[in-house]
């Protein structure tokens, strides 16, 4: 019984490790590569701690403009989607019950339609509109920002609507009636009763819309025109090869997400703590207060630690310079290479000695064979004697006919410091 | 605060598709009156209330408030305030903001609103609780806040839709008195909707009893209880033992009906049935449990019944004795607890007796379903 329990626990832990590894592993690896010095994002070998990729990122014009465009598009999409989503959700509660299912299907359809289709249709539709209204090319209707916002909003508004519908289901329409009964106009009842009730849903819908817009690629790829967003820029960049500045960007985004999530959790836990301690609800919903909430609030502690860590890192990056380390690594690499080459040389030497020892009667190739100019495309590099630099050097004349590669593949050429080495040998 | 504005419903019909919720209601409510609509759930009383407050337009007929036809006036244009069944306090607003919402929508400044809120909070004995949220108040306190919120709008007519139904018994009884006192103090017309006859009878000047969209009787509580106009009213308001039969003889105010099982019984003819009741008509006699007494004289008479005790319930101030009359006829009798010997011995044969003036005879008709 006990061992069974232990097994179960073991598998549970193993499962959790695998699960979280699968979820978070790529993010972790990506984040770490942002601080490694090689110019291709690599985790191993770890060379030097560097912050240079953040510099590279900050100086990358295309990424920065892409980010700017993404923010503009995101902002526009949030406004348009939240408004349309709220309108759609309210409509759902007002429409005749018989129509409700049909209406719901229609407004939810954009979520099910592939983003590519939405992108193309947005492009085509507004182009037609532009032509019908008699505008030339480059009109407002063909502006990339305008099209991207509209294209993304077509389906993001549906997501927002789902959020609003969920909240509206808990709304007591009696409250609106009560407001009307007390003399409020319809607009006042909406503004003073329904809107405050919807506020949390509006906030979450806005976050959702922004994130969906920020990461959207397949709709945007048809509509961006002259205003590529960050995702478009990244995709284009990857085509020409990436460097760790993308990791740096990913790291920044991950950090912002984690800090945002923690801050939200802190706020939530603080409220709960206060409620558990018997504070009145009206006192809890007030503004943010710092000192007391740390007590018994793990999320707050983690947030504070992370912020401290962040500040320390920024300070450290100002002070720390990886140049020395990078030079060091370069030097080490060079030495390593040298060692390897010498190793190879030594082996060959030994090999040759061994062959010469056993075939002493055989004529020495190098001295007897005439170095004819037509010995082939590879300039005789494959001749066994050529492998031995010392003998090769003496025997092989630098004839013009030794081949297309001009002898670059001759093993002796690999070693730049060859002549000195030979002397020392 | 304009006092004493009357409300008149003239031939009001309200239909939802094929369903008739209210049928030709003619109700006249005098200004400054505490008027109740009493009926089982689904009888159309809330529909009437919504028609008065303006959330519904009657399909036919007119709703008049203070002699003015209210057709075309929305709820925010009528001099009425409604207290909802679930109170509908605004959960995100503080108590004082809730109370003064009607002033806020009129654009009254914050300081003035706060002052008015404090006055009203004092009136409802919640001084100093203005900065709480409604969810922090108890049921009774919420109730009072809802009343203060409605009164803050200075309505001519206050409409209450079963506002006490969510409260526990003690609080309900307390709020009854309190509501009545508030009504007397402010002097405006109260229209009260309830399915609880106790509430209707204790608080109201007049009560309208409704059955399936029809107003059966409008009268003061005393008459509703003692002189019901229809079998429905008789069986819905209070408890009654029903004896079915045929009218055997009529003698002035009294009649004798021939019940199959319990023999001939005599009772007073209800005011509404006077003159219309003929010999041979199917009729019903209603005998209140508290009108039954244990007879000392056991000889047969037209106001006596014999029955066996089945069981007994003790409620505190009264005993309910359940009896079985001739051929299994169930009879309930209530005895005031004055420390007498209890009747709970099973199969104890008793002779019951009643004062014929305390029982009523009505033409046979629909009863309230239990």
CA A208 remoteness from chain centre? 19
On whether the CB atoms of residues A79 and A60 are closer than 8 A, the answer is no
Kindly determine whether residue B101 and residue A174, on different chains, have CB atoms separated by under 8 Å: no
> Which token pair is B357?
């003036």
Kindly determine whether residue A280 and residue B136, on different chains, have CB atoms separated by under 8 Å: yes
In a domain, A119, yes or no: yes
- Directed axis angle between helix A52-59 and helix A61-94, to 10°? 70
Kindly determine whether residue B105 and residue A185, on different chains, have CB atoms separated by under 8 Å: yes
Please name the residue that has the structure tokens 């007119």: B62
Residues of B near A (Cβ–Cβ under 8 Å) read 53-55, 74-76, 80-82, 84, 86, 88, 90-92, 94, 101-102, 104-106, 131-133, 135-136, 149-150, 153
Q: What is the pLDDT of residue A282?
A: 55
Q: Give percent of chain B with pLDDT exceeding 90.
A: 5
**Residues A275 and A293 placed together within one structural domain of the fold:** yes
Q: DSSP string spanning B89-157?
A: --TTS-HHHHHTHHHHTTT--HHHHHHHHHHHHHHTT-TT-TTS-GGGS-HHHHHHHHHHHHHHT--SE
What are the phi and psi torsion angles at A68 (to 5°)? Answer: -60, -45
- Directed axis angle between helix A245-276 and helix A52-59, to 10°? 100
In a domain, A128, yes or no: yes
> A184 to chain B: which residues are within 8 Å by CB?
76, 101-102, 105
Q: Domain containing A234: what range?
A: 65-319
d(CA A71, CA A77): 10
On whether the CB atoms of residues B207 and B38 are closer than 8 A, the answer is yes
Q: What is the pLDDT of residue A283?
A: 56
Please name the fold of domain B7-226.
Rossmann fold (3.40.50)
**Residues A386 and A404 placed together within one structural domain of the fold:** yes
**Residues A310 and A418 placed together within one structural domain of the fold:** no
**Residues A380 and A309 placed together within one structural domain of the fold:** no
CA nearest to A279 within chain B: B136
Please compute, for residue A373, the number of CA atoms within 13 A of its CA located in the half-sphere on the CB side: 3
In a domain, A29, yes or no: no
**Residues A264 and A343 placed together within one structural domain of the fold:** no
The sheet carrying B34-38 orders its strands as B80-83, B157-161, B189-194, B34-38, B206-211, B214-219
pLDDT in tens, B151-179: 888 888 999 888 887 778 888 888 888 88
Burial (Cβ within 10 Å: 0-12, 13-18, ≥19) of residue A277: exposed
Kindly determine whether residue B75 and residue A192, on different chains, have CB atoms separated by under 8 Å: no
On whether the CB atoms of residues A348 and A388 are closer than 8 A, the answer is yes
Bridge partners of B68, per DSSP, are B65
Kindly determine whether residue A180 and residue B76, on different chains, have CB atoms separated by under 8 Å: yes
d(CA B62, CA B70): 7
CA distance B74 to chain A (A): 8
Q: DSSP string spanning A107-173?
A: HHHHHHS-HHHHHHHHHHHHHHHHHHTT--TT-GGG-HHHHHHHHHHHHHHHHHHHHHHHHHTT--H
Prediction ipTM score? 0.77
- DSSP, collapsed to helix, strand or coil, labels residue A388 as coil
Positions of chain A with pLDDT lower than 70, given as ranges: 1-3, 278-296, 358-425
Kindly determine whether residue B101 and residue A281, on different chains, have CB atoms separated by under 8 Å: no
**Residues A99 and A209 placed together within one structural domain of the fold:** yes
pLDDT in tens, A190-236: 999 999 999 999 999 999 999 999 988 988 888 888 888 888 888 88
Q: What is the pLDDT of residue A82?
A: 94
**Residues A332 and A348 placed together within one structural domain of the fold:** yes
Q: Please name the residues in contact with B69: beta carbons below 8 A apart, sequence gap of 6 or more.
A: B62, B63
On whether the CB atoms of residues B367 and B40 are closer than 8 A, the answer is no
d(CA B336, CA B318): 4
On whether the CB atoms of residues B311 and B322 are closer than 8 A, the answer is yes
Alpha helices, H only, A40-60? 52-59
Question: What class, spelled out in words, does domain B239-363 have in CATH?
Answer: mainly beta
Q: How many CB atoms lie within 10 A of CB A228?
A: 21
Task: Tell how strand B304-314 and strand B349-354 pair up.
Answer: antiparallel
Please compute, for residue A6, the number of CA atoms within 13 A of its CA located in the half-sphere on the CB side: 3
d(CA B135, CA B208): 34
**Residues A233 and A341 placed together within one structural domain of the fold:** no
Q: What is the pLDDT of residue A203?
A: 92
Q: How many CB atoms lie within 10 A of CB A245?
A: 22
CA distance A179 to chain B (A): 8
- Delimit the domains of chain B by residue range: 7-226, 239-363
Q: Is the pTM of this model over 0.80?
A: no
Bridge partners of A19, per DSSP, are none
On whether the CB atoms of residues B194 and B237 are closer than 8 A, the answer is no
Q: What is the pLDDT of residue B73?
A: 87
Cα dihedral B180/B181/B185/B188 (nearest 10)? -10
In a domain, A193, yes or no: yes
CATH number at residue A255: 1.10.3720.10
> B54 to chain A: which residues are within 8 Å by CB?
181
What are the phi and psi torsion angles at A347 (to 5°)? Answer: -60, -45
Which of A192, A196, A282 is opposite residue B136, by nearest beta carbon? A282
- DSSP, collapsed to helix, strand or coil, labels residue B309 as strand
In a domain, A203, yes or no: yes
Count interface pairs A-B at CB distance under 8 A.
Answer: 70
**Residues A72 and A104 placed together within one structural domain of the fold:** yes
In a domain, A20, yes or no: no
**Residues A315 and A327 placed together within one structural domain of the fold:** no
CA nearest to B81 within chain A: A181
d(CA B209, CA B219): 9
Which of A183, A281, A282 is opposite residue B105, by nearest beta carbon? A183
> B131 to chain A: which residues are within 8 Å by CB?
282
Structurally, chain A folds into a number of domains equal to: 2
On whether the CB atoms of residues B193 and B39 are closer than 8 A, the answer is no
In a domain, A132, yes or no: yes
Interface of A with B in 274-293 (CB under 8 A): 280-282
Q: Which of A175, A171, A276, A154 is nearest to A220 (CA)?
A: A154
Q: What is the pLDDT of residue B320?
A: 86
CA diameter of chain B = 79
pLDDT in tens, A49-75: 777 788 888 888 888 888 899 999 999
Q: What is the pLDDT of residue B127?
A: 84
Q: What is the pLDDT of residue B325?
A: 80
Q: Which of B178, B188, B213 is nearest to B30 (CA)?
A: B188
Positions of chain B with pLDDT lower than 50, given as ranges: 1-2
**Residues A386 and A398 placed together within one structural domain of the fold:** yes
**Residues A306 and A394 placed together within one structural domain of the fold:** no
CA distance B322 to chain A (A): 44
């Amino acid at each position: 019984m006990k061992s069974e329990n232990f097994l179960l626990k073991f598998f549970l832990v193993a499962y959790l490790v695998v699960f979280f590894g699968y979820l978070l592993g790529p993010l972790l690896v990506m984040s770490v590569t942002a601080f490694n010095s090689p110019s291709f994002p690599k985790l191993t070998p770890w060379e030097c701690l560097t912050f240079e990729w953040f510099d590279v990122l900050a100086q990358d014009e295309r990424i920065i403009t892409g980010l700017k465009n993404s923010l503009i598009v995101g902002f526009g999409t949030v406004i348009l989607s939240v408004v349309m989503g709220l309108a759609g959700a309210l409509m759902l509660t007002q429409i005749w019950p018989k129509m409700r299912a049909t209406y719901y299907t229609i407004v939810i359809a954009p979520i099910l339609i592939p983003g590519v289709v939405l992108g193309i249709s947005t492009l085509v539709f507004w182009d037609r509109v532009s032509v019908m209204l008699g505008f030339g090319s480059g009109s407002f209707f063909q502006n990339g920002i305008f099209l991207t916002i509209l294209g993304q909003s077509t389906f993001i508004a549906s997501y927002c609507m789902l959020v609003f519908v969920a909240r509206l289901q808990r709304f007591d329409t009696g409250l609106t009636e009560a407001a009307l009964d007390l003399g409020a106009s319809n607009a006042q009842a909406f503004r003073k009763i329904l809107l405050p009730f919807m506020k949390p849903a509006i906030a979450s819908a806005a976050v959702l819309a922004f994130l969906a817009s920020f990461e959207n690629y397949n709709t945007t790829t048809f509509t961006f025109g002259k205003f590529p967003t960050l995702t478009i820029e990244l995709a284009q960049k990857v085509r020409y090869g990436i460097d760790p500045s993308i990791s740096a960007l990913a790291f920044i985004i991950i950090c912002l997400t984690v800090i945002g999530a923690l801050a939200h959790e802190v706020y939530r836990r603080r409220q709960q703590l206060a409620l558990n301690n018997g504070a009145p609800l009206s006192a809890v919903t007030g503004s943010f207060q710092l000192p007391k909430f740390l007590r018994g609030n793990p999320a707050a502690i983690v947030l504070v630690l992370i912020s401290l860590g962040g500040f320390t890192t920024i300070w450290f990056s100002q002070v720390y310079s990886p140049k020395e380390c990078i030079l060091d690594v370069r030097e080490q690499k060079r030495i390593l290479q040298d060692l390897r080459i010498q190793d190879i040389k030594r082996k060959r030497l030994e090999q040759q000695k061994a062959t010469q020892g056993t075939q002493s009667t055989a004529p020495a190739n190098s001295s007897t064979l005439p170095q004819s100019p037509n010995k082939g495309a590879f300039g005789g590099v494959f001749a066994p004697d050529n492998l031995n630099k010392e003998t090769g050097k003496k025997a092989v004349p630098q004839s013009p006919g030794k081949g297309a590669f001009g002898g670059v593949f001759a093993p002796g050429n690999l070693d730049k410091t060859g002549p000195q080495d030979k002397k020392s040998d | 605060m304009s006092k004493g504005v009357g409300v008149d419903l003239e031939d009001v019909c309200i239909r939802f598709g094929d369903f008739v919720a209210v049928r030709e209601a003619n109700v006249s409510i005098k200004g400054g009156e505490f008027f109740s609509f009493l009926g089982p759930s689904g009888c159309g009383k809330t529909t009437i209330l919504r028609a008065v407050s303006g959330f519904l337009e009657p399909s036919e007929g007119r709703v008049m408030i203070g002699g003015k036809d209210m057709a075309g006036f929305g709820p925010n244009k009528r001099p009425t305030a409604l207290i909802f069944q679930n109170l509908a306090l605004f959960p995100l607003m503080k108590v004082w903001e809730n109370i003064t919402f009607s002033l806020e929508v009129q654009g009254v400044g914050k300081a003035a609103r706060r002052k008015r809120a404090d006055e009203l909070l004092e009136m409802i004995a919640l001084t100093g609780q203005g900065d709480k949220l409604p969810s922090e108040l108890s049921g009774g306190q919420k109730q009072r806040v809802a009343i203060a919120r409605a009164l803050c709008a200075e309505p001519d007519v206050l409409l209450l839709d079963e506002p006490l139904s969510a409260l526990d018994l003690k609080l309900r009884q307390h709020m009854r008195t309190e509501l009545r006192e508030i009504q007397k103090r402010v002097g405006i017309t109260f229209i009260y909707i309830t399915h609880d006859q106790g509430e209707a009878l204790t608080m109201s000047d007049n009560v309208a009893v409704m059955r399936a969209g029809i107003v059966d009787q409008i009268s003061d509580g005393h008459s509703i209880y003692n002189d019901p106009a229809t079998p429905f009213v008789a069986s819905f308001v209070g408890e009654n033992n029903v004896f079915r039969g045929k009218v055997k003889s009529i003698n002035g105010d009294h009649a004798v009906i021939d019940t199959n099982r319990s023999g001939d019984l005599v009772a007073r003819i209800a005011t509404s049935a006077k003159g219309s009741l003929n010999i041979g008509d199917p009729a019903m006699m209603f005998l209140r449990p508290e009108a039954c007494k244990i007879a000392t004289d056991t000889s047969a008479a037209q106001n006596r019944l014999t029955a066996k005790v089945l069981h007994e319930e003790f409620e505190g101030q009264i005993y309910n004795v359940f009896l079985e009359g001739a051929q299994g006829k169930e009879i309930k009798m209530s005895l005031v607890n004055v420390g007498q010997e209890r009747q709970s011995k099973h199969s104890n044969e008793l002779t019951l007796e009643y004062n014929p003036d305390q029982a009523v005879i009505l033409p046979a008709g629909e009863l309230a379903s239990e």
